[in-house]
Amino acid sequence: MTQAQANILIVEDDFISREVLKAMLTCYEVTVHCAENAHQAITMAAQQQFALALLDHELPDSTGIALYQQLTTYQPGLVAALVSSHPAEQLAHAATAVGITKVLSKPLDPQQLADLLGVAGCI
């Protein structure tokens, strides 16, 4: 019997950025779920468990940090990364203060993504 594939949540409002993230994850045995905004992500988290969440920092209806706090009401201890075009150093303190594992700058480095998947137990 094979192990079930890990569920990954991508929350990204920009279509191209979302598709790039999905494409980067195709080489791993994971199931990718996408949301375009915080509302969609919260609805999904209420129905599905995720091993990892990749959260855009600037969403149309929230921030990635505020969204993470809402997601953890459904999934305490959720492993998450904040993804932003802002330098990671600018967001690191606020992100880690709420429990976000990593802050990644766009464009994502494939090795950083692989390392994060390993931390989340996805690979």
Phi, psi angle pair for 73, to nearest 5°: -70, -30
pLDDT reading at 2 higher than 50: no
pLDDT digits (tens, 9 = 90+) for 72-119: 999 999 999 999 998 888 899 999 999 998 999 998 999 999 999 999
Tokens describing residue 100: 């976000």
> Which helix (H) or strand (E) segment is 31 a member of?
strand 30-35
CATH code of domain 6-119: 3.40.50.2300
Distance in angstroms (rounded) separating the CA atoms of residues 83 and 102: 9
3-class secondary structure, 63: strand
Domain extent listing, the chain: 6-119
- So what's the pLDDT on residue 87? 83
pLDDT digits (tens, 9 = 90+) for 20-70: 999 999 999 999 999 999 999 999 999 999 999 999 999 999 999 999 999
Q: Whole-prediction pTM value?
A: 0.94
